[in-house]
Amino acid sequence: MPEIAEVRVVRDTLKKNILKKKIKNVRVLYDNLIVGDAREFERKLKGCTFENVESSGKWLIFKLGEMSILSHLRMEGKFFYVESSTEMRKHSHIVFEFEDGMELRYDDVRKFGRMELVKTEDIAESPSIKKLGFEPDDSRLNADYLIEKFADKKMNAKVALLDQSIINGLGNIYANEVLFATKISPFRLAKNITKKEAEYIVAESRRITDEAYKMGGSTIRSYTSSLGVTGHYQDVIAVHGKEGKPCKVCGEPIKRVKIEGRSAYYCEHCQK
């Protein structure tokens, strides 16, 4: 699943391609990807121009004047920017046709992604965006904020880092990496995290996601940014996907356990 670094890379690449492009026509070929009425989505976007592409955590926000599209790629959503004569891929489900003969196609093998049309002035109040916490590089994300958010939570550290209402944008890969970097066990109760550790979480979330973004994100399994960019952060990942491999710090084998359905990779020796 694309996380904050990958979504920012997709955002940047989209901006290079679609800004100032006027939509001639929209075709939704799989209606369930649209929150709300798919025909209305098609009708309202016709004639609109992409004025900006922003992101918030794992969300892409396409701005088209008064209307905006909130897009979540979930597991395998991808965008392709191609000439209209390009053969349709099997899993291209939403097509934005531009006046100049180019198309932006949304591809989603597992069909878990979602797009929603909202009024631009209502973005901050939309249920999907309103509940989000702070992105790692937001100055409001600090140790006091985390301690307060963790205080009444019975959840463990791994689940807490994946909670988008606390830190906006961390997914499984970067949550595993942040916990390893801060030497915090994924099983530790979030409410028992000390202020010093919360400071480390802030610093490492920032460092790791920033480094990953600068390296084009992580290209592993289902995720590729699909617009011609291949990320390289997978080359420096310490624990995610490294079950049985030696820990970079102590040499003990990395362990993998399922926590609420997600794989936690960690070093039992280094993370307490």
Question: Catalytic site residues?
Answer: 2-3, 58, 262
- Pick the closer one to Zn ion by CB: 66 or 243: 243
- Pick the closer one to Zn ion by CB: 160 or 247: 247
Q: How far apart are CA 196 and CA 142, in angstroms?
A: 11
Tokens at residue 243, please? 């079950």
Nearest residue to 26 (alpha-carbon basis) of 60, 49, 57, 9: 49
- Pick the closer one to Zn ion by CB: 73 or 270: 270
Q: How far apart are CA 166 and CA 170, in angstroms?
A: 10
Q: What are phi and psi of 59, to 5 degrees?
A: -95, 140
Q: How far is CA 151 from CA 195, 221, 260, in A?
A: 11, 35, 20
Q: Which residues bind Zn ion (CB under 5 A)?
A: 247, 249-250, 267, 269-270
- The residue at minimum Cβ distance from Zn ion is 247
Tally Cβ neighbours within 10 Å of residue 192.
11
Give the shortest CB-200-to-Zn ion separation in angstroms: 16
Nearest residue to 219 (alpha-carbon basis) of 230, 208, 228, 209: 230
